Structure 1
Amino acid sequence: MGDIYFAEMATRPNTLGLALYDNPIGQLSWLAEKFILWSDPRRGTGPSTLTNNEILKHVSLYYLSKTFITASYIYEQNPTVLSSAYPYRKAKTSSPLLFTDFPYNIQYWPKQVVASVGNLVYYNSVDFGGHFPSLDNVAALAEDVRQVGKYYK
C-alpha cells in the first residue's frame, strides 16, 4: 500500500491536492484512512494515543493551515527514494545510526538493510505501533530519543 501511495504523491501531487484542497470532508477521508491503515490495529489502547479525536486534530491542522497540497511535495521532489530500483547507499558519515522497527509501519527495513546504509549502533524492534510512532507508541519513541542522547553528548 505504501508504494501505491508514494507513486501517486510522487507523480501527481496536485491532482489529489487540488481536488481536496478546499474540501474538509475529502481531506478527512483521505488522511484518516492513512492514520487508521498505517497504525497498529489496537490504536487508542495501551501505549497508543491515536484516537479519533487525535485524527481530527491532525486533519484540522492540514485543512486550517492550507498545507494539504504542499505536504505531498516531498514525494515529488524525491521520486525514487522508495522505488525497488533505488540503490541503497552507504552514508558519507560515520555518525551513529539508530533505528526502531514498528510492526505496523508501511515499510519494513530488516536490520541488515539498515546496517548497509550507515553506522548502525542501535536496532530496536517493538511490539506495538505503526507509521506514526509519536501517536501510536509514545513511550517507545521517547525511549529511542533517550538512546540517541547516549550517542550525542
Structure 2
Amino acid sequence: MTPPERFHIQVPKATLDRIAQRLQDYEWPRLPAGEPWKLGMDEAGLRALVEHWLHRFDAAAQIERLNAQPQYRASAQGVGLHFVHRRSAGAPGLPIVLLHGWPSSYLEYLDAAETLAQRHDVVVVSLPNSGFSDRTAAPMGPRAMAQAVHALMTGVLGYPRYVAHGSDWGAIVSSWLGNDFPAAVAGIHMSMVSPRFVAGAVSGAEEQQWLAGFRERFEDDGAYFRLQTTRPHTLGFLLGDSPVGLLAWQAEKFMAWSDPAMGSASDKIAQAAWRDRLVLNTLLQLVTGTAASATLVYRGLAAEGAPGFPAGGRVNVPVAIAAMRDPAFPAPPRSLVDRVYRVERWTEYARGGHFPGHEVPDLLCADLGAFAAGL
C-alpha cells in the first residue's frame, strides 16, 4: 500500500481532436426502420448525442470541473485506485464509500458525495479497470475488488469502520465487503440485489414469480452480459476503436435501465444533463483506455467461481436495501433478501432506476445518510 497522492487529469488536446475527428468521420450504417428503441440503441437518439458531443459539449470545461474534485490515487492490495475523497467540515459520522457499476463510473456519485460530505467523510472509488484506476493484468472479479477497496479504506485512509454503498457491480462489491470484513464494515447500502446471489434461496410462489420474471427480461436484455463474460476481448477491439460505437453500447443501457416513469429514453436524451452524462462517461473511457477493461469484471466474476456466497452464507452486518424502480433489476421480495442479508432498512423509492447517483441523488443521500446515522 502507498499513501495517497493528489491526482490531476491531463488529456492532450491532440487526443480530444482525434476523438472529434473520429466522430465526424463516422459512416452511419443503413438500418431497417423499426419502432424506436426496440432493436437496441435508437439511431435518432444516437445522432442527437453525437451532434451534442461535436457542437455543444465542452470537453475542456468538463475536465476542469472534474479536476476541481479532491481526487487522489493510491496503491491498495497491489492495485492503483483512483478516488475522490471529501472530508466532512464538521464532526463526521461514519465514513462512506460509494461504488459504481457498469456502464457507469465514478462520475455517477460526485453530486451525492458533495451532499453526504456535510456529515460524513466520503470516498468515491473508480473500480479497478475503470476510469483512472489501474488496468490489471488479468480480469478482476468483485470479491477481489472488495479486498482492494477494503485495503484502501482501512490501510491507506485509516478508517477502522465504514459504510459501503453500491449500485450494479458496486452492490456486489459491497456485499463481499460485508461478508468478508464484518469487523470493519458497519453496514452496507445497496440499490440492487444481484439475482445470482439470491436465486439459490428462492422458495414459494411469489419468489418463484420474481425469478421467472427476471429470467424472462434477461433473455431479452442479457446479450451484453453473455458477451462480456465469454468473449470480452473480441468486444474490446470494437469498443476501443469507435467513439460512436462505445457511446451506443453504453447509452442504450443507461436508457433501458433508468426509471421509465421519469421520462422516455427519447425524452431523457433531449435533456442537456443526460447528454452531458452520457458523453462524458464515454469520453472518460476513451481517454483512459478502459473501454475494454471496464467490461472485464464480468469475466472476473466467472473466474471467481459460482456466483453467490459460500454454501449457507449470509451477510450478517446491517443491510439497507434501496428498492429502486429499476426496470431491469427490480428488487426481489423481501422474504428472499432476508434469507441472504441481515436487512435492517428497506426503502421503496418513488422514483429512480438503476443509476441512483445520476437519477435521484437527493433521495439516495437522504436514505443512505439516515441509515449510516443509525449504525
Q: TM-score range by the shorter chain?
A: 0.7 to 0.9
1:71 & 1:99 partners in 2: Cα distance? 26
1:81 & 1:105 partners in 2: Cα distance? 22
Q: CA RMSD in A?
A: 2.7
Equivalent residues of 2:320, 2:345 under 8 A apart: yes
Alignment of 1:117-136 (within 5 A): 117-136=340-359
Per-residue CA deviations over 1:84-128 (Å, capped at 9, x if unaligned) read xx998532x521011111112521222122211111001111121
2:360 & 2:352 partners in 1: Cα distance? 5
Equivalent residues of 1:50, 1:136 under 8 A apart: no
2:222 aligns to what SS in structure 1?
Answer: helix
Query: Between Structure 1 and Structure 2, how many residues are aligned?
Result: 146
Distance change in 2, residues 1:76/1:23 (3 Å): same
For residue 8 of structure 1, what is the aligned residue in structure 2?
227
For residue 21 of structure 1, what is the aligned residue in structure 2?
240
Q: Which structure has the larger Rg?
A: 2
Q: Name stretches of at least 5 consecutive residues in structure 2 with no aligned partner.
A: 1-217
- Which stretches of structure 1, 4 residues or more, deviate above 6 A after TM superposition? none
2:326 aligns to what SS in structure 1?
Answer: coil
Which moved further from structure 2: 131-140 or 143-152?
Answer: 143-152
For residue 106 of structure 1, what is the aligned residue in structure 2?
328
TM-score w.r.t. the length of structure 1 is 0.81
Per-residue CA deviations over 1:11-43 (Å, capped at 9, x if unaligned) read 121121111112111101111111111111225
Alignment of 1:56-71 (within 5 A): 56-71=279-294
1:72 maps to 2:295: yes
Equivalent residues of 2:322, 2:346 under 8 A apart: yes
Opposite residue 300 of structure 2, the aligned amino acid is: Q
Equivalent residues of 1:97, 1:122 under 8 A apart: yes
Identity across the alignment (%)? 26
Alignment of 1:129-144 (within 5 A): 129-144=352-367
CA shift, 1:147, in A, is 2.6
Distance change in 2, residues 1:50/1:124 (3 Å): farther
Opposite residue 103 of structure 1, the aligned amino acid is: R
For residue 164 of structure 2, what is the aligned residue in structure 1?
none
1:15 & 1:151 partners in 2: Cα distance? 47
Distance change in 2, residues 1:87/1:140 (3 Å): farther
1:16 & 1:54 partners in 2: Cα distance? 23
Per-residue CA deviations over 1:128-152 (Å, capped at 9, x if unaligned) read 1111110011112112220331243
2:249 & 2:318 partners in 1: Cα distance? 36
2:369 & 2:224 partners in 1: Cα distance? 32
Question: Which of the pair is proportionally richer in strand?
Answer: 2
1:149 maps to 2:375: no
TM-score w.r.t. the length of structure 2 is 0.35
2:310 & 2:273 partners in 1: Cα distance? 34
1:125 & 1:13 partners in 2: Cα distance? 35
